[in-house]
């Protein structure tokens, strides 16, 4: 998943980037509002993690602009402001969740999963496809109660596919979701990960539409 | 804080006593002087009229006496005078002291034993003795002392009664005037009384008499300093939140990333220790920031405690239920953010020491909010201890032990109180922390 992190603190930002990348997300890191605007104008993000006190302005201002321009990407505010008024103001500005610093990285992951679930209209984090069970919250996959080990890249592709059942996902879109700016992408990278995924969860689940992309088949 | 301020009664009483005392003393002096003057003037006038009466009666008396000698021994005395008929007696005596004649209402006994010319005073009479016929006869005109006193009393009461009435009247006037004079002081006190942490507007000098200028300026200077220090405290609390939380968050997150990497055993152990220590630092910082917030909260009218409870409960997810009673009094005086801090502390306490099942927040009856958790009954002596700072409940909890005392501090600042109950109201067991607010 492609994530935009807006955070001016180098040490915290570095750890959050590292953590999200380890979970298979592609993270672009903006240190201020201007930079964040530039990123948002050129890349399709599936999530924004937004600090409020930024060197070139308030995070809420960016959020307002995004919501007013019809941008519906999920936003999680991560801030040092812990007061109820701040929280209500942040949520009223259009944020989907509000996390107060300091926080455990696992907590951030759980909040991200919950927000995405809400967007996908799935009340439970568990998805069932016959004997295949995918838990997007716990990031686990099992077939007939047998746990399947996935790498973070494999997981990221699977997560994208199940989020859009029976829809064609272009290869380009999967690349955008998996790689941040500046990452080197080999031309056949996606194909490699998809074939590895098929080997682990079964061939028929992911359909290839040559020239278009991939589709998560749900009967 | 809210009680109306009035002039201290002692100040008015003091002024009234002083003024009335002054009036009483001057009235007494004026009365005594007046009395002395009247007495002197009255005696002089009465003595003069006695002397005049003696002079007028003497020839008549002598004539009557001589005629009587020719006729009989019955004395038929002429009247002393028309005006003084009721008040003056007289006796005509020979040089041996025998009473030869007397006015009809005078006593038969002589007024005095010895006869002395001129004015004299006995126990009962004021006398004037005039010698007649080459000192062979004397006429003695007498006036009862009692009567003189009566005259004096009548004359004196003419001014002493109004003077006596003037004393309470002047007391009343003094009281009215003192209250009127202290009215600016009253107003100033009331205006100072309206000032509190959220209203430190300077007091206008031109509304008060010049004598109060120094007091007003001093109060204004003090308030300006207080305002400055309160503002910087609030600013500190808000800045400190950012300045402290962000680096702690960075350090914690980096340590978590370090722990996620494959590490040598000792390195992993040290990283875990750093993480534990940072977590504790973060908790303590959190509580200190909460205390700073609680101290600097503005005391505002909050019209929906149940909404705050619901918003705070949402922060913790689905295992916190908020129930609002029909008889809840929702409007209380507390800062919304400060109430949220209190609620978070109680919820965290319930999460730490409860049995992990559902936590209830109950609004009402009346102006109160309770946080209830299930679990074993807490002994009464521990309940008392719990509110003291740094005392933890059962060892299973991992809090900093300062939470309940923060809530208690918050409640006492907003005029309410925190009560701890175990078992919870209407339950067999569990623990209830009840915030009772002062009604608005």
DSSP states of B169-200 as a string?
A: HHHHHHHHHHHHHTHHHHHHHHHHHT-BTTB-
Mean pLDDT of A52-68: 91
List the single residue in A16, A53, A87 with the smallest CB-CB distance to B253.
A16
CATH 3.40.50.2300 fits A126-216, yes or no: no
Give phi and psi for B376, each to the nearest 5.
-65, 155
Residue B363 predicted with pLDDT over 60: yes
The two structure tokens encoding residue B281: 């630092």
Name which of A175, A196, A189 is nearest A26 in CA terms. Answer: A175
Mean pLDDT of A174-179: 79
d(CA B343, CA B351): 12
List of chain A residues whose C-beta atoms are within 8 Å of the C-beta of residue B249: 9, 12, 80, 101-103
Name which of B381, B385, B303, B291 is nearest B345 in CA terms. Answer: B291
**Chain segment B20-73, per-residue pLDDT in tens:** 899 889 989 988 998 899 989 988 998 998 889 888 888 888 888 788 766 654
d(CA B377, CA B428): 8
- Tell me if residue B88 falls in helix, strand or coil: coil
d(CA A163, CA A214): 13
Instruction: Say if the Cβ atoms of B250 and A80 lie within 8 Å.
Output: no
Q: Which of B253, B281, B317 to mutate to test the interface with A (most CBs of A within 10 A)?
A: B253
Range 60-119 of A in CB contact (< 8 A) with B: 80-85, 87-88, 100-106
Report the percentage of chain B scoring pLDDT > 90. Answer: 21
C-beta neighbour count of A126 within 10 angstroms: 13
Please, which residues have CB within 8 angstroms of residue B243's CB and are 6 or more apart in sequence?
Answer: none
Residue B1 predicted with pLDDT over 50: no
Residue-range domain boundaries for chain A: 2-120, 126-216
Residue B159 predicted with pLDDT over 90: no
Q: How far is CA A28 from the centre of its chain?
A: 11
Decide if B126 contacts B97 (C-beta within 8 A).
Answer: no
pLDDT of residue B5: 47
Shortest distance between the Cα of B256 and any Cα of chain A, in A, equals 7
Shortest distance between the Cα of A9 and any Cα of chain B, in A, equals 7
Please state the pTM of the whole predicted model: 0.62
Give phi and psi for A91, each to the nearest 5.
-70, -35
List of chain B residues whose C-beta atoms are within 8 Å of the C-beta of residue A12: 246, 249-250, 253
Superfamily of domain A2-120: Response regulator (3.40.50.2300)
Q: Please provide the average confidence, as pLDDT, over all residues in chain B.
A: 84
Instruction: Say if the Cβ atoms of A19 and B257 lie within 8 Å.
Output: yes
């Amino acid at each position: 998943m492609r994530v935009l992190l807006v955070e001016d603190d180098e040490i915290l930002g570095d750890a959050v980037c590292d953590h999200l990348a380890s979970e298979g997300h592609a993270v672009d890191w903006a240190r201020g509002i201007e930079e964040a605007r530039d990123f948002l104008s050129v890349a399709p993000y599936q999530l924004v993690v937004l600090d409020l006190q930024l060197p070139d302005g308030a995070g809420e201002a960016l959020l307002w602009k995004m919501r007013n321009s019809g941008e519906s990407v999920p936003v999680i505010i991560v801030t040092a402001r812990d007061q109820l008024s701040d929280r209500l103001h942040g949520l009223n500005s259009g944020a989907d969740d509000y996390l107060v610093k300091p926080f455990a990285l696992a907590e951030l992951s759980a909040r991200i999963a919950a927000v995405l679930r809400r967007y996908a209209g799935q009340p439970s984090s568990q998805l069932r496809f016959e004997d295949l069970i995918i838990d997007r919250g716990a990031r686990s996959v099992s077939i007939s109660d047998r746990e399947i080990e996935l790498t973070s890249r494999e997981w990221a592709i699977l997560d994208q596919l199940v989020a859009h059942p029976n829809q064609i996902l272009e290869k380009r879109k999967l690349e955008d979701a998996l790689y941040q700016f500046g990452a080197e992408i080999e031309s056949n990278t996606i194909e490699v990960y998809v074939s590895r995924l098929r080997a682990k969860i079964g061939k028929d689940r992911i359909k290839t539409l040559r020239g278009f992309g991939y589709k998560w088949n749900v009967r | 804080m809210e009680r109306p301020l009035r002039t201290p009664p002692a100040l008015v009483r003091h002024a009234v006593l002083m003024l009335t005392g002054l009036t009483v003393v001057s009235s007494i002096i004026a009365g005594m002087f007046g009395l002395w003057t009247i007495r002197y003037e009255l005696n002089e006038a009465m003595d003069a009229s006695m002397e005049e009466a003696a002079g007028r009666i003497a020839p008549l008396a002598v004539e009557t006496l001589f005629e009587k000698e020719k006729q009989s021994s019955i004395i038929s005395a002429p009247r002393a005078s028309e005006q003084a008929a009721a008040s003056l007696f007289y006796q005509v005596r020979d040089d041996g002291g025998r009473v030869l004649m007397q006015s009809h209402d005078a006593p038969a006994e002589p007024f005095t034993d010895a006869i002395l010319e001129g004015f004299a005073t006995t126990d009962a009479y004021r006398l004037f003795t005039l010698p007649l016929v080459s000192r062979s006869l004397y006429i003695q005109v007498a006036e009862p002392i009692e009567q003189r006193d009566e005259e004096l009393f009548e004359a004196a009461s003419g001014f002493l009664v109004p003077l006596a009435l003037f004393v309470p009247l002047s007391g009343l006037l003094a009281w009215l005037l003192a209250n009127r004079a202290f009215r600016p002081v009253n107003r100033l006190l009331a205006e100072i009384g309206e000032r509190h942490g959220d209203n430190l507007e300077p007091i206008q000098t031109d509304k008060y008499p010049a004598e109060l200028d120094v007091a007003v300026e001093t109060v204004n200077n003090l308030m300006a300093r207080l305002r400055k220090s309160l503002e910087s405290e609030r600013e500190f609390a808000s800045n400190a939140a950012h300045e402290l939380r962000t680096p702690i968050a960075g350090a914690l997150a980096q340590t978590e990333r370090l722990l996620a990497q494959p590490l040598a055993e000792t390195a992993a152990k040290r990283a875990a220790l750093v993480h534990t220590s940072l977590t504790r630092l973060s908790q303590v910082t959190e509580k200190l920031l909460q205390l700073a917030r609680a101290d600097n909260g503005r005391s505002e009218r909050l019209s929906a405690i149940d909404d705050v409870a619901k918003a705070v409960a949402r922060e913790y997810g689905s295992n916190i239920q908020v129930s609002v009673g029909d008889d809840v009094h929702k409007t209380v005086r507390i800062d919304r953010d400060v109430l949220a801090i209190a609620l978070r502390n109680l919820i965290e306490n319930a999460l730490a020491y409860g049995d992990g099942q559902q936590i209830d927040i109950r609004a009402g009856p009346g102006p109160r909010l309770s946080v209830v958790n299930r679990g074993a009954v807490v002994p009464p002596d521990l309940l008392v201890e719990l509110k003291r700072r740094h005392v933890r409940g059962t060892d299973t909890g991992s809090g900093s032990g300062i939470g309940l005392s923060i809530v208690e501090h918050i409640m006492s600042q907003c005029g309410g109180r925190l009560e701890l109950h175990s078992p919870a109201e209407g339950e067999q067991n569990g623990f209830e922390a009840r915030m009772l607010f002062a009604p608005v």
